[in-house]
Structure 1
Amino acid sequence: MKQLLVLSALALAATSSMAAADEAMNKAGCMACHAKDKKVVGPAFKDIAAKYKGDKAAPAKLAEKVRKGGAGVWGPIPMPAHTPEKINDGDLKDAVDSILKS
Structure 2
Amino acid sequence: MKKMSIVISMAFFAYACGNSNQNSGDQSAATGTSTPQTEAAAPAPATASTDLSDNPDYKKGLALIAKNDCLTCHKVDEKLIGPAYRDVAKKYTDKDIPMLAAKIIKGGSGVWGQVPMTPHPNLSVADAEQMVKYILLLKKS
Q: Per the shorter chain, which TM-score range?
A: 0.7 to 0.9
2:53 touches 2:59 (CA, 8 Å); kept in 1?
no
CA 1:28–1:12 in structure 2 vs 1: closer, same or farther (change >3 Å)?
A: closer
Match of 1:24 in 2: 64
Give TM-score, length-normalised by structure 2: 0.55
Quote how far apart the aligned CAs of 1:91 are.
Answer: 2.1
5+ long unaligned stretches in structure 1: 1-10
Match of 2:104 in 1: 66
1:45 and 2:85 matched? yes
User: Structure 1 runs of 4+ off > 3 angstroms?
Assistant: none
**CA-to-partner distance for each residue in 1:30-74, whole Å, 9 max, x for gaps?**
111011111010001110011114x62x10110111111111110
How many aligned residue pairs are there?
87
Quote how far apart the aligned CAs of 1:90 are.
Answer: 2.7
Quote how far apart the aligned CAs of 1:12 are.
Answer: 6.9
Quote how far apart the aligned CAs of 1:20 are.
Answer: 2.4
CA 1:60–1:17 in structure 2 vs 1: closer, same or farther (change >3 Å)?
A: closer
Quote how far apart the aligned CAs of 1:13 are.
Answer: 5.0
**1:35 aligned residue (68, 75, 80):** 75
The structure that has the greater radius of gyration is 2
* Percent identity of paired positions between Structure 1 and Structure 2: 37
Give TM-score, length-normalised by structure 1: 0.74
Quote how far apart the aligned CAs of 1:19 are.
Answer: 2.4
5+ long unaligned stretches in structure 2: 1-51
Higher relative contact order (Cα pairs below 8 Å, separated by 6+ residues): 1
Match of 2:28 in 1: none
Q: Secondary structure at the match of 2:60?
A: helix
Alignment RMSD (CA, Å): 1.9
